[in-house]
Amino acid sequence: DIVMTQSPDSLAVSLGERATINCKSSQSVLYSSNSKNYLAWYQHKPGQPPKLLLYWASTRESGVPDRFSGSGSGTDFTLTISSLQAEDVAVYYCQQYYSTPPTFGQGTKLEIK
Amino acid sequence: QVQLVQSGAEVKKPGASVKVSCKASGYTFTNYGISWVRQAPGQGLEWMGWISAYNGNTNYAQKLQGRVTMTTDTSTSTAYMELRSLRSDDTAVYYCARDKPVSQYYFDYWGQGTLVTVSS
């Protein structure tokens, strides 16, 4: 199985500041035939189901604010929130779908400083 | 609008079985698959398995092989997940999520979650 490792485990950022979450896979999730990274990001708030933010590493899901962006390729990926809002407090997960089973990172808890 | 509505919370004794339903609406059920993901208290997300509503193919997480069965009823656009021989570490919130019809990808719509508590 591909192991996904996120860093940091928790993060406190001031309102309006940038938040950066990293995700590293134990093997490449870049499929050479289509040059796509099989990597998604989710936001999970207490009492709610997870919400898809990004897929193919950097494609924003419909309705997701443009302050959320994804970057990276191969084994190293980053989720960036450009200007943190109060409603962004949540746990964020990366997930690879390059191979089965799909696997998630352990999660990064984002709080307001 | 796409909706996945799951059945209500369950309390089960160790060794029992539980069957959670997930009723889909707002899209053509047979054009997609359903994955099941669970979250134990204080833990992260764990993928349990996938079923194609297109052709009924399944793929289960290795650790659950032999204890889990996923099915669909295309006449009611409902997916089911049955977990047998329940243990205390099966206590979790169980989610269904829309997936691709031929393989597992990312999950764009999720059910509201079903809490399953296993306790004697």
Torsion (CA) B42, A82, B106, A39 in degrees, nearest 10: -100
Q: Based on DSSP, count helices (H) and strands (E) in chain B, helices before strands.
A: 0, 10
A42 min Cα distance to partner chain B (Å):
9
**Which residue of chain A comes nearest to B96, CA vs CA?**
A49
Tell me: the pLDDT tens digits for B42-71?
999 999 999 999 999 999 999 999 999 999
Asked if B104's CB is within 8 angstroms of A101's CB, the reply is: yes
Is the CB of residue A92 less than 8 Å away from at least one CB of chain B?
A: no
Residues A42-78 pLDDT 10s: 999 999 999 999 999 999 999 999 999 999 999 999 9
Of A38, A49, A104, the CB nearest to B44: A104
pLDDT of residue B102: 87
Q: How confident is the model at residue B23, as a pLDDT?
A: 98
Contacts of A42 in chain B (CB under 8 A): 45, 107
Which of B61, B108, B113 has its CB closest to that of A52? B108
* CA dist., res. A50 & res. A94, Å (int): 11
Residue B101 has pLDDT above 90, yes or no: no
Q: Per-residue confidence at B73, pLDDT binned at 50, 70, 90?
A: very high
In tens, the pLDDT along B11-47 reads: 999 999 999 999 999 999 999 999 999 999 999 999 9
B72 band by pLDDT with thresholds 50, 70 and 90: very high
Which tens digit of pLDDT belongs to each residue from B81-90?
Answer: 999 999 999 9
CA angle A26, A31, A36 (to 5 degrees): 105
Residues of B in contact with A93 (CB under 8 A): 44-45
Mean pLDDT over the full length of chain B:
97
CA distance to partner chain A, nearest, from residue B83 (Å)? 18
Chain B within 8 Å of A40 (Cβ-Cβ)? yes
Sign of torsion over alpha carbons A24, A49, A109, B83: negative
Rounded average pLDDT over B91-114:
95
Instruction: Give whole-number Cα distances, B53 to A23, A61, A108, B77, B107, in Å.
Output: 31, 23, 32, 9, 15
User: For all residues of chain A together, what is the average pLDDT?
Assistant: 98
Is the pLDDT confidence value at B104 over 90?
no
Q: Is the dihedral of CA B64, B93, A27, A39 positive or negative?
A: positive
